Amino acid sequence: MSIRPARLEDAEALAAIYAPAVLHGTASFEVEPPSAAEMAARLKKVQAHGWPWLVHVTMGQVDGYAYVSQFRDRPAYRHCGETSVYVSPDAQRTGIGNALLMAATDAARRCGFRQLVAVIGNSENEASIGLHAACGFERVGLLTQVGEKFGRRLDIVIMQRSLEGQPASAAPAA
């Protein structure tokens, strides 16, 4: 098992990992899974800014990814990143998400981000909320009924972690 920077040839695996979350879940508010070509374009955009996009590889297969991009596309947000973490369904709850999020946190700090924000789809998404909490994020907000998918109105949970004043590789004590 290892974590490494994502490469363009990973785009098909990235799309395959993300598709179930789009098609069957409410963590993502997208309704059509992006193609491998679209995932490659997203990867290029993140990496062109020097931001981290990491993959987890087990026995030669990409089974998870995490990336950090600028929270909003305005200069004042240049030190605030937004995290995204997805793990293939058969590899969930194995520690891969935690390893990826912590590695992405370290990389985000090295890129100059001072704050990280997680915008978590569906306030019932206990797995993602728990993952982020375990990695030092605190719940700072709730936007109610801002999304709709599968005929349900969905909330967004906002979590935040400061990268200032502590090593990024360790979650702060709860």
Determine the number of helices (DSSP H) and then strands (DSSP E) in the chain. 4, 7
The region that residue 122 occupies, defined by phi over 0 for left and psi between -120 and 50 for alpha, beta otherwise, is: left
pLDDT at residue 170, rounded to an integer = 54
User: Stretch 75-80: mean pLDDT, rounded?
Assistant: 96
| Residues 6-38 pLDDT 10s | 999 999 999 999 999 999 999 999 999 999 999
- Does residue 132 sit in helix, strand or coil? helix
**Rounded CA gap, 174 and 169, in Å?**
15
User: Stretch 59-67: mean pLDDT, rounded?
Assistant: 96
**Does residue 168 have a pLDDT over 90?**
no
Decide: 139 and 159 in contact? Cβ < 8 Å: yes
| Residues 103-144 pLDDT 10s | 999 999 999 999 999 999 999 999 999 999 999 999 999 999
Query: In whole angstroms, how large is the CA radius of gyration of the chain?
Result: 15
**Does residue 74 have a pLDDT over 70?**
yes
**Does residue 77 have a pLDDT over 70?**
yes
pLDDT at residue 92, rounded to an integer = 85
| Residues 31-51 pLDDT 10s | 999 999 999 999 999 999 999
pLDDT at residue 1, rounded to an integer = 77
The class that CATH gives domain 2-162 is alpha beta
